Chain A
Amino acid sequence: MLDALLLQSGYNATLVTLGAMMLGVAAGVTGTFLYLRKRALMSDAMAHATLPGVGLAFLLMVAMGGDGRSLPGLLAGAGISALVGLGCVQFLTTRTRLPEDAAIGAVLSVFYGVGIVILTVIQALSIGRQAGLEAFLLGATAGMLWSDAMLIAAGGAISAGLVLLFRRPLLMVAFDPDYASVRGLLPGRADLMLMALVLAVTLTGLKVVGLILIVALLVIPAVAARMWSDRAGVVAAIAGGIGGAAGYGGAAMSASAPDLPTGPLIVLLAAAGFVVSILFGRARGVIPQALARARMRTRLAGPA
């Protein structure tokens, strides 16, 4: 275990660990903007909506005589099906005035159900070397290819970079969409950009964290970081730090104990950071606020 944490358990494992760290940073930073725009659950809908695409892409690649497990191919399928899911949520909320949370609930469960059916069919057909698709549910880094790890690290770095580049319009739209739109920053376009970045993080994290838990990596570091600062930029930086640490630690632990799925380990580490932040966070934490109240009481009770 110590070997893994110190990146001494082999070249591949090291690369996977660094990739997971990059993913965590991207998820923390992107998730901050998503949380500030109050659309955190959209990422859950998109993540679950990737599953039918993973299954169908596998079937298509096998039918074309391929291996069926090529990560870029599976991610392309996942991306297309997530976009369809996103489109469904948009359609339901704009055309039927269904509230977004209800639309998310409906789309998320239907797409996940369809995905599970397709995966079951694949297992029953026993075609190709299907074993491994379940890894997309909870994440598995064991036995990951070098090229896969590179894809994940690059995807994380690019997503995080784009969020930093577009931080100003994203923040203005999140804080005050009407004002932003008068300034020429159309909220619809900024949201589209944000959703594209969330989709990129989701796809990047599919193999590492799994589609069920990727929402945790987008939300938990962001809300934990909010406990520490009242400045959006600082919140995003701290969230990136918490996400990166969780990704690094989770992947390293999973490398030393390959039976443990990587996703839950990463999420548990992020959750530990969340608990610490809730208790001790300088801006919002429970204990600093209680101390401030106590100080105020002593001051008011003291000699006038």
Chain B
Amino acid sequence: MSESLVSDGDLAGDDVRVTHPAAGVASLRARGAAALAALWQVTLVRRAVVLAALAAAWQLAALWQNNPLLFPTFTDTISALIEGLRHEDLFPASVASITVLLKGYVLAIALALGFVSVAIAVPFVKEVLLTLTAMFNPLPAIALLPLAMLWLGLGEASLLLVMVHAVLWPFALAALTGFEQVPETQRLVGRNYGLRGLSYIALILIPAALPSLLSGLKIAWAFAWRTLIAAELVFGVSSRSGGLGWYIYRNRNELLTDKVFAGLVTVILIGLLVEVLFRLVEQRTVRRWGLQR
């Protein structure tokens, strides 16, 4: 306790001892500045300030344009968002999109892990995987949609096909790179304890490759989300609720631009939420283990 008192006196400077009135004010100001600086160190605070500035700029630009049909204001968009969530089908549309997304994502990740597990054991399969990845990675998933619709019709199956394509290749590449970068010593340690096959992959390779796997999951998630929203612009998933892309497309047709904006904001918000989730996972794993800074 006494130590902190001494350091406070030091902060305020020599002037305090002669009780100069201006010194107290200066010290208060210094403390205020220090508190602000500390607050600025918090990532969430910095992000909130950036978002608030963007919202203000949007509001001003929209007011200046004064054309709600083409460019609704921030406040109009937010009220459309709340209205949409409470009384209209924005919420079920979001749930529909996320449900389809999770199905496709999990399916593709499982396929990729299976493929890569075989590829690290069998050189020929690795050759196949690398060739396929090189071929399909540059091919935008949405370009497969016409073919998917032709083969599988207008429905979830088509969406799943394009999403598996969007996720499988980038994630497989990240996983393969991650597994290959596992330090030789850690591989030998695992083999030393008699680990083989699946237990070797699960107990050594996957945790050791987690930085690459997580970044692959992040990239794959972004690809999947973009692809899904784009695909939903073409057709709705189910009869009742067509997903977020469909919500945006439908409201554009009715020139309800504030709802189009509300749909886009929802897409962004869900993206941010997932980003935060990934960050939490990273903090509890790879950052905690010193594998990533």
A and B from one complex: no
